[in-house]
Amino acid sequence: MTQTLGIRALNRATLARQLLLARERAPVTEAVGRLLGMQAQEPKPPFLGLWTRLDGFDAAELRAALHDRTLVRATAMRATLHLMTAPDYTAFRTTFQPVLDGAMRALGDRAEGLDVGKTVEAARALLQDGPRTFNEIRALLQEEFPDVNERALGYAVRMCVPLVMAPTDDRWTFPRASGFALADSWLGSAPAAEPDVDALMLRYLAAYGPASAADAQTWSGLAALGEVFDRLRPRLRVFADDAGCELFDLPDAPRPDEDVPAPARFLPEFDALVLAHADRRRIIADAHRPSLTTKNLRVRAVFLWDGFARGVWETEYKRRVATLRLRPFEPLPPEAVEALTAEGEALLRFVEPAAKETAVAVA
């Protein structure tokens, strides 16, 4: 008989793999590898995401890993920017190409006259001498293809040329207008020639399992993963959730007791934990999901209490006073406010080290 895992059991299993049941001592490259990448739509969130997961996290270590090219910021899952280890990027970039090809449909009529093959060839030639910003890339491509929409040219390069972002000495390592480099030149090796969906799904389960095929599709953007899990079934354990949905997991992956304590934690904007499953009840209640995303599709920063997203947060820095504002989805018990306040003050000291005062306010 198939074992059923309730919401709390799934919550604790996922938190264990996401380094959120207790801060761990680990190098940043190892942590990013265990997480199978971190959403990095903006440069700052991965720093916060590692601070909340690692004991003694040093931002300088992350900056150094990006500069020595053991970590990269590049387009991958769901056709969005992620922080990944260099070996994971080269191993799986080709596996994600169907997702990136599908994203090209968003261009619609703007793709009129676009020849992707010629655009890719021209872009690679432009980048042979080193990184360029996309403002530069689009302008130069427009000279070569004057009758094609400038944005379409740039988007084709983003989706169809393996690129990594070049780090700088900015505090969060990347300025607003970052340069992009050819991945093979930057890393000294080209992405794998063939896709490896099976290996990717095993890594996904290690980082986010137990999970369904639909969960994996939501996280990756890849389609038709049911047949992949059927192929992998002999190597996996199979569970069911409270709705009877089939879940897959690695046999020896951690599945702590559902009553294991989960500490107060702050997740940054765009954190993959709240995006990695089709059924997100293991982290956030269905009733609260509409509060997770803004009108312009920003994924808000959330805080966890007893393992679940209980509200959103933001910081403010004025006149050397750093303030963390919590907006709970529902009233919080006093012990939650106490724990979140202590954790929040530590977060403020990391984010705004020059602040004279810190304050945590619960709306």
Instruction: Judge contact between 152 and 114, C-beta under 8 A.
Output: yes
* pLDDT tens by residue, 283-337: 999 999 999 888 888 899 999 999 999 999 999 999 999 999 999 999 999 999 9
Average of pLDDT values for 162-189?
A: 96
Read off the pTM: 0.96
The answer to whether residue 9 scores a pLDDT higher than 90 is: yes
3-state DSSP assignment of residue 154: helix
Average of pLDDT values for 125-146?
A: 96
3-class secondary structure for the chain?
Answer: CCCECCHHHHHHHHHHHCCCCCCECCCHHHHHHHCCCEECCCCCHHHHHHHCCECCCCHHHHHHHHHCCCEEEEECHHHCEEEEEHHHHHHHCCCCHHHHHHHHHHHHHHHCCCCHHHHHHHHHHHCCCCCEEHHHHHHHHHHHCCCCCHHHHHHHHHHHCCEEEECCCCCCCCCCCCEEEEHHHHHCCCCCCCCCHHHHHHHHHHHHCCECHHHHHHHHCCCCCHHHHHHHHHHCEEEECCCCCEEEECCCCCCCCCCCCCCCEECCCCCHHHCCCCCCCCCCCHHHHHHHECCCCCECCEEEECCEEEEEEEEEEECCEEEEEEEECCCCCHHHHHHHHHHHHHHHHHHCCCCCEEEEEEC
* Confidence (pLDDT) at 294: 86
If residue 174 lies in a helix (H) or strand (E), which one and from where to where? none
Instruction: Judge contact between 92 and 196, C-beta under 8 A.
Output: yes
Average of pLDDT values for 92-102?
A: 97
The answer to whether residue 147 scores a pLDDT higher than 90 is: yes
Q: Which residues contact 84 (CB under 8 A, 6 or more apart)?
A: 32, 36, 37, 38, 71, 72, 73, 74, 76
* pLDDT tens by residue, 258-288: 999 999 999 999 999 999 999 999 999 999 9
- CB neighbourhood size of 88 (10 A): 19
* Confidence (pLDDT) at 124: 97
What the block records as the tokens of 171 is 């505090």
What percent of the chain has a predicted confidence (pLDDT) above 70?
100
* Confidence (pLDDT) at 293: 87
* pLDDT tens by residue, 191-207: 999 999 999 999 999 99
